[in-house]
Amino acid sequence: MATLKIWLLLLFVATIDAALGHENYVPIITNQIHLLRPQSGSGGSYVEGLSCLSWRLAVETNNLISWTQIPTSCVDYVGHYMLGSQYRQDSELVIEQALAHAKALNISTEGTDIWVFDIDETALSNLPYYADTGFGSEPYNATKFNEWVETKAAPALPATLELYEELLNLGIKVVFITGRPESQRNVTASNLKAVGYTTWEKLVLKGSDYSGKTAVVYKSAQRKILENDGYRIVGNIGDQWSDLLGTNIGLRTFKLPDPMYYIG
Ligand SMILES: *[C@@H]1O[C@H](CO)[C@@H](O)[C@H](O)[C@H]1NC(C)=O
Ligand SMILES: *[C@@H]1O[C@H](CO)[C@@H](O)[C@H](O)[C@H]1NC(C)=O
Ligand SMILES: *[C@@H]1O[C@H](CO)[C@@H](O)[C@H](O)[C@H]1NC(C)=O
């Protein structure tokens, strides 16, 4: 009887093994961010009681506002999303649409048509920093983040760099408007140039006169100044709704994904 049980068990194991196809068998890695082999395309590990996909959708659609940290139970989910292919694919689709919009425009020959770019998680990616600090699950530490900014090591978001290059070819000028403070002008300019954003019409950083003001107020005011100076904002791209809401938003806005933090 015991022998039969063992035999049946062996048969069962062999069947499973054959069904899986030995060379295709990928061990399930739990609680680990795996850079090269995300566990699923949409970056999903299942979390009991909370759909992290619903949470991310609510974030991206601006239904969830003023949140300070991602839910602890969604750290793996957000990590897989950001490091896996889905984040890149989502970004590329945004850029495809932005490019289609740009190509359909009647660009002024006066050189007054501009496209507004945000910097963090738009032109540049702070993913190396966030991968190291829990993908937005740890409380924001300004000292630590500024140390990272000072390293000038932020890579370009590949899709955004592609848009940037195409816009310049189309005769559209680029203006960066960032929430980074004026004190980070030089490191920001160096970082941008080092990764391929070699030229721009203006690089606008947050001056002390806007301290305590929201991003919506500050960015709207800067866009208004640009329009008063005779520029036409033909497109506007950012990862935060506060890059795109408010006044003087331009002909069309484009929202890149960012489930790691919220700036109002
Ligand atoms: C494009 O703009 C120019 C002047 O800026 C104008 O003369 C021309 O008619 C416009 N073309 C279209 C297709 O709107
Ligand atoms: C913030 O980061 C700095 C620099 O890395 C570190 O010295 C400090 O302890 C951190 N603060 C908190 C509250 O974690
Ligand atoms: C930026 O660099 C310029 C020289 O290129 C220098 O005069 C200025 O003080 C620097 N600003 C900051 C904030 O470091």
Give the tens place of pLDDT for each residue, 242-264. Answer: 999 999 999 999 999 999 999 99
Q: Is the dihedral of CA 35, 41, 43, 49 positive or negative?
A: negative
Return the higher-pLDDT residue of 47 and 75.
75
Q: Is the dihedral of CA 140, 240, 48, 90 positive or negative?
A: negative
Residues having CB within 6 Å of any atom of ligand 2: 141, 143-144, 147
Model pLDDT for residues 230-240, shown as the tens digit of each residue: 999 999 999 99
Number of Cβ within a 10 Å radius of residue 159? 21
Model pLDDT for residues 191-243, shown as the tens digit of each residue: 999 999 999 999 999 999 999 999 999 999 999 999 999 999 999 999 999 99
Task: Give the type of residue at 195.
Answer: V
Residue 264 lies in a domain: no
Residue 181 lies in a domain: yes
187 CA closest ligand 3 atom index: 14
Number of Cβ within a 10 Å radius of residue 25? 10
Model pLDDT for residues 126-170, shown as the tens digit of each residue: 999 999 999 999 999 999 999 999 999 999 999 999 999 999 999
Whole-angstrom Cα distance, residue 33 to residue 55?
A: 19
Number of domains in the chain: 1
Is the whole model's pTM more than 0.85, yes or no? no
Whole-angstrom Cα distance, residue 148 to residue 83?
A: 19
Please enumerate in sequence order all residues whose Cβ is within 8 A of that of 213, keeping only pairs 6 or more positions apart, or say none: none
CA of 207 to the centre of ligand 2 (A): 25
Average the pLDDT over 31-57 and give the result: 58
DSSP E strand boundaries for the chain: 113-117, 173-181, 202-206, 232-238, 253-255
Whole-angstrom Cα distance, residue 35 to residue 82?
A: 10
**Rg of the chain taking only CA atoms, in angstroms:** 23
Q: Measuring from atom 1 of ligand 3, which residue has the nearest CA?
A: 186
Is 52:39 a contact under the CB 8 Å cutoff?
A: no
- pLDDT at residue number 50: 64
Whole-angstrom Cα distance, residue 150 to residue 153?
A: 8
Residue 261 lies in a domain: no
Q: Measuring from atom 11 of ligand 1, which residue has the nearest CA?
A: 106
Lowest mean pLDDT among 22-36, 62-76, 109-123, 148-162: 22-36
138 CA closest ligand 2 atom index: 14
Residue 240 lies in a domain: yes
CA of 184 to the centre of ligand 3 (A): 9
Question: Domain limits at 169?
Answer: 52-255
CA of 106 to the centre of ligand 1 (A): 6
- pLDDT at residue number 33: 43
What's the token pair of residue 214?
């929201």
Which of 143, 146, 147, 151 has most ligand 2 atoms within 8 Å of CB, for mutation?
143
Nearest listed ligand to the Cα of residue 190: 3
Residues having CB within 6 Å of any atom of ligand 3: 183, 185-186
Residue 47 lies in a domain: no
Return the higher-pLDDT residue of 37 and 242.
242
User: 105: domain CATH number?
Assistant: 3.40.50.1000
Looking at residue 73, what DSSP letter applies? G
Phi, psi values for residue 8, rounded to 5° = -65, -40
Q: Measuring from atom 6 of ligand 1, which residue has the nearest CA?
A: 106
Q: Measuring from atom 4 of ligand 1, which residue has the nearest CA?
A: 108
